[in-house]
Amino acid sequence: MFLSIYRNAIVKNSSIVIKEIVGSNNDIALITLNSPRTFNSLGKALMTELEKLCKEAENDSLINCILLTSSSNKAFSQGADIREISQYTHEKIVSEDFPKQWYFLSDIKKTKVALVNGICFGGGLELAMMCDYILGTKQSSYALPEIKLGIIPGCGGTQRLPRKVGKSLAMEMILTGDKITADEAHKAGLLTTILQSTPEKPLAEAIKYIETNNIYNKYT
C-alpha cells in the first residue's frame, strides 16, 4: 500500500534536504529535512536549500501541495542552528536581514502541510506554523524554548502561536519554554490532526489524509 502512493524516485537530493514527487496523482512535492545528526538544526545551508526546493515546487504547474517532513522519527527540527547564529554579530544579522531567509515559506501560495514526527522546537515550530496544516504523530512534541537561552522566538512564533492556540497558552509556552504533547497541541488547535500510524510509518497516512480530505489549492 505504501509503495502505491509513494511513486516517483528522487527528483532533487542534497545532503540536507530531499525533494520527491509522491501521491496517487504525482502532485505532492515531498520535501524532507535530512540532517538527523543535528536534529535538523536550521542553519543557513539547510534553509537556502529548503527555499530553493520549495520555490521549485511552487513554480511546478503539476504540483498542488507541498508536504514538509523529516527523515528522522526523533525530530522534525530542534530549531535554529544556535551555534551558527552565535557567530553572527548584530551588524551581520541586520545587514543580511537574517529573519528574511525564514519567511519564504509563508509566501508560498500552494497548500503547505507539515508532517511532524518527534520534537518540533523553536524555529522548527515556527517553520511548521508557516504551513496551512500541521499533522502530528502521537509522540510528537512542541515548544518555543528560546527563553531558556535568554532570547525570544525571532521568526514569527510570537505572532503565529497566539493565533493558533490563544493568548494564554501561547504566553505560557513562550515565557516558560515548556513543551506540550501532541494531544495538548491538538486540543489547543495547533495540530490539524494526530496521525495514528506507528512513528516509523506516518508518511503513507499523511498522504492519504491529504488526498482523502482534498486539501489542495487547485487554483494557485
pLDDT in tens, 50-99: 999 999 999 999 999 999 999 999 999 998 877 877 776 667 666 666 66
Among the listed residues 23, 79, 118, 123, the single catalytic one is 123
Using the 8-state DSSP alphabet, how is residue 197 labeled? S
Per-residue confidence (pLDDT) for residue 8, from 0 to 100? 44
- Are 34 and 18 contacting, i.e. CB atoms less than 8 angstroms apart? yes
Known catalytic membership, residue 80: yes
Pick the residue with more confidence: 173 or 216?
173
Domain limits of the chain?
A: 2-212
Q: Residue 4's CB: how many other CB atoms inside 10 A? A: 8
Among the listed residues 146, 170, 182, 206, the single catalytic one is 146
Per-residue confidence (pLDDT) for residue 1, from 0 to 100? 36
Known catalytic membership, residue 123: yes
Among the listed residues 126, 143, 157, 185, the single catalytic one is 126
- Sequence-distant (6+) residues with CB within 8 A of 76 are 33, 40, 69, 70, 114, 115, 116, 117, 118, 119, 120, 124, 128, 140
d(CA 180, CA 177): 10
Least confident piece of the model among 8-12, 107-111, 167-171: 8-12
Per-residue confidence (pLDDT) for residue 87, from 0 to 100? 72
d(CA 95, CA 110): 30
pLDDT above 70: residue 179: yes
Among the listed residues 80, 114, 170, 182, the single catalytic one is 80
Helix (H) or strand (E) holding 43, with range, is none
Model-level pTM?
Answer: 0.89
- The identity of residue 161, as a single letter, is L
Using the 8-state DSSP alphabet, how is residue 189 labeled? T
pLDDT above 50: residue 5: no
> In which band, very low, low, confident or very high, does the pLDDT at 205 lie, cut at 50, 70 and 90?
very high
Q: Which residues of 72-91 are buried (b: 16+ CB within 10 A; e: fewer)?
A: bbebbbbbbbbeebeeeeee
What CATH class is the domain 2-212?
Answer: alpha beta
d(CA 160, CA 165): 9
**Nearest Cα to 114, choosing from 133, 96, 88, 141?**
133
Known catalytic membership, residue 51: no
> What do you get for the CA distance between the two ends of the chain, in Å?
30
